[in-house]
Structure 1
Amino acid sequence: MAEDSIEWNVPLISSSFLPCDRDAILSIQLPLVPQSARLAWSGVYSVRNGYRMLQGTSPTDNLLISYYRRLWSLKCPAKVRIALWKCSRNLIPTMSNLFYRRISNAPTCPKCNQFPESVLHFSRDCFYAANIWSTLNVHWPADIDQANFLEWLYLLFLNIKHFSNEVIAYTIWSLWHARNKWIHDKIWQRIEELITFVRGYDYEFRSLEVMLSHPNTSGSVIWSRPPLDWVKVNTDASFPQNPTSSFTGMVVRNDTGAVQGATYRVVTSSPSPFFTEALAVLHGLLFAQDLGFRKIILESDSKTVISKVLSTEEDLSEIRSVTWSIKSLAAGFESCMFQFVPREGNRTAHTLAQAARTAGEDRFWVEDAPEEVLAVAETDRKLSEPP
């Protein structure tokens, strides 16, 4: 660092390091006020990290990880995922398992009465299951007949493209229930009935998921006005798909919802989106300070950044220098509050940060903003009007 200032000594760094290392060093955000040196890193050590390092991984471990990751990410009821997990671990009461535990007199399949009933038998090899899969046009290579249930199901997940993995899960789950109906109630479910049930169940669950993902907007989060004589600063960050730069957007509004100022800034060499979100908060404070406001509420839709700013514990993460500057700057206001707001309540700042992508340079407005931002701010103002 340069002597007597909080700036990087660019000539010294450029002459001492390779270009890639130089750029990495210069991308580190320095605090606005002096602070003692600290060792910091971008993560938190956990027992899990150490356990994984000591255990290492093998090809089998990688298969299990990939399989269970796909299994638990299925968009279906939890009871279906749990049933498949039990099948994968051979934890369901097939006749073979009951016979092994001396609960049943014979391991024979109750549907075909020919072969021992294992997990693979009821779900794949029994004539009833084989007819179901054939009707669904699901086939697999003969050379995997010796594979276990987990390997066979993972192969289906990877290779069946004409319907979803959820349909495969529903089919196996339904095969087990059809088997139980026959054992306990002597009801033989026809193949057409089972396939109709599987397809109907999949359709109903997907329809319900769509309804839940698009709830009634009457209960959505809206922007709220600050108290009298206060201003609210909303901040957001924007990240292009192939980022060489990222962008921050900040909007200041008063207790009537009127825009008092807006600005966006270009951020070069940010190490992560998390870091840029923190910079947006810092830029918002600096902008409010430049406009001369003394009582502010700052809102961001990054819950992690707001938690870091509000925390009394020492921050050793990659944004330490930014959170230090935020706290130091906040102390200079008469009153300064930080709040998390869901994205729905931060639309104006989001629109401004998106607009920064096309401009590609820093800009600011006093009692004004780009037209598209003013339109969103006006909607916020109307929605926030008292009844």
Structure 2
Amino acid sequence: MRRHISDGRETRIEGHAWILGTHSGRFISTCTEGNEGRFVADLIRPNCEWDEVKIDLLLLPFEKERVMNIRVSPNRPRDCWYWGFDWDIVYSVKMAYAMLLCSEALATKPNIAARVEGEFSKCSFCNSFAESSLHLFRDCRVAWWVWEGLGVEGVMEEGGSGVRDWVEVCWKGTVESKYGKFMVGYWALWELRNTVVFEGSDIDPEKVVRRMMDVLEEGDGMGTVAEGDVVGIGVVSRDGNGAVLWGLSIVRNQNWDPSMGEAVAILDGLQEVAQRGHRNVEIESGCLMVVEAL
């Protein structure tokens, strides 16, 4: 996972992978004394241009060139995570939801409550604490049962200032070959949570663990190939305050890659927007390739 720089306020100069054109996404030069723990925003001027003087003091010439080629957003949104493209990985819905987790954009109850008045916000598993991402996937006792059953050590004790730091630390420590137990455990918990919420299913962590162990044995930890040529597309429209206006769900008999599916979803959404007569529309997407193309 790598960081996409927008305003640089949440990405560390050292410690986060954010440099373009390198395998690791990190620097090989050593920051000068006193710069440890600084954020990328310290290298950006108020006019959204890179501060060459500061960069010259910190980085090697070829590293500076790569940083200067990173386009800083004039709109100054938050930095975000994205997957660095790898030909050896089949990108799937699981990976897209992992990015939503890192961005704290999953449809957890508190996130829904922020948009829908009166929505209950307690954890779907324990019903004792607010259903934050960290609680749902790390701190809840049901999460502990799943992680222990999968044999993923250390996930429950890992800290960090937020869910993104936690995910990054866990991801580094649980990758096996190109399949990750962390990804499987995260997906298992999210799937279990949704069956509890939408189907009223019983909470059975042991059953979930058995199913996920079968998935790992089949080599389906990070990516899957869909059975048949079917693509599901979803669009959600919100007003200026974040309240949901309407949603759109379409199933197409196609075999598109994720970026094409995202582009078609935007097209379908814009067509629906036009039919409804909306104006002043902003588009949000988790696909960096499509965002940059727009």
Length-normalised TM-score, structure 2: 0.44
Higher relative contact order (CA 8 A, sep 6+): 1
Structure with more helix by fraction? 1
Length-normalised TM-score, structure 1: 0.34
Rg larger for: 1
